Amino acid sequence: MTGRHAAPVGNGSEHAVPHGVYPTVEKDRWVAVAVSDDEAFARLCAVCGWSHEPALATIGGRLEARAAIDQRLSEWTESRAAEAAAAELQAAGISAMAVQNGDDHRADAHLASRGAIVTVEHREIGAERHAANPIRLSRTPLPAPAPAPLLGADSRSVLEGVLGLDGAEIERLIASGVCS
């Protein structure tokens, strides 16, 4: 429709450079950074200790040098923990956040306070932290998350309701060890 062929851009943006996730000193930990204007890029340069380069002062120049900027920023982030890098950049007014994994989500006090993470009691494991349903309806409460079923917990209902077996046949299968 535009005359341009679609191509994957990954985390890239035509309106922000740098814009992506960058490795940190921690194994498999990343920090997301988005620099959307010239002033923010100048602040990024100050935080990272980079000298001013006139060719990078505008988005056009940064788009042309995207790979080199990403490489330089990766070198800077690789010497820091994700949370430390994000905090340092945020303090300078740069959009940055440590990329969270499932363990981070479950431990995040903000997500818990918003009801995004709930505690579910599992009969064998005990208390587990889970993601809540993200949908919020003003007049229709949604059911709370339930723990995962135990192995074989639904066997009888499947054998009866789905396969149509009668009670005697189900008892025979259980006695023979086919079902537990």
Residue 52 tokens, joined: 């001013």
Per-residue confidence band for 127, with pLDDT thresholds at 50, 70 and 90: very high
Cα–Cα distances (Å) from 101 to 7, 29, 31, 104, 106, in that order, read: 28, 9, 12, 5, 9
- CA dist 10 and 162 (Å) reads 44
**Average pLDDT of 127-131?**
86
Residue 100 DSSP class: P
> pLDDT for 49-83, tens place per residue?
999 999 999 999 999 999 999 999 999 999 999 99
Per-residue confidence band for 165, with pLDDT thresholds at 50, 70 and 90: very high
- CA dist 67 and 43 (Å) reads 19
Q: Is the separation of the CB atoms in 92 and 35 below 8 Å? A: no
> pLDDT for 84-126, tens place per residue?
999 999 999 999 999 999 889 888 888 888 888 888 999 999 9
Domains of the chain, each with CATH number or no CATH: 19-99 (3.30.1540.10), 101-148 (no CATH), 149-180 (no CATH)
pLDDT of res. 85: 98
pLDDT of res. 180: 67
| Residue owning tokens 């851009």 | 9
pLDDT of res. 39: 97
> pLDDT for 8-43, tens place per residue?
777 888 889 999 999 999 999 999 999 999 999 999
Residue 152: pLDDT above 90? Answer: no
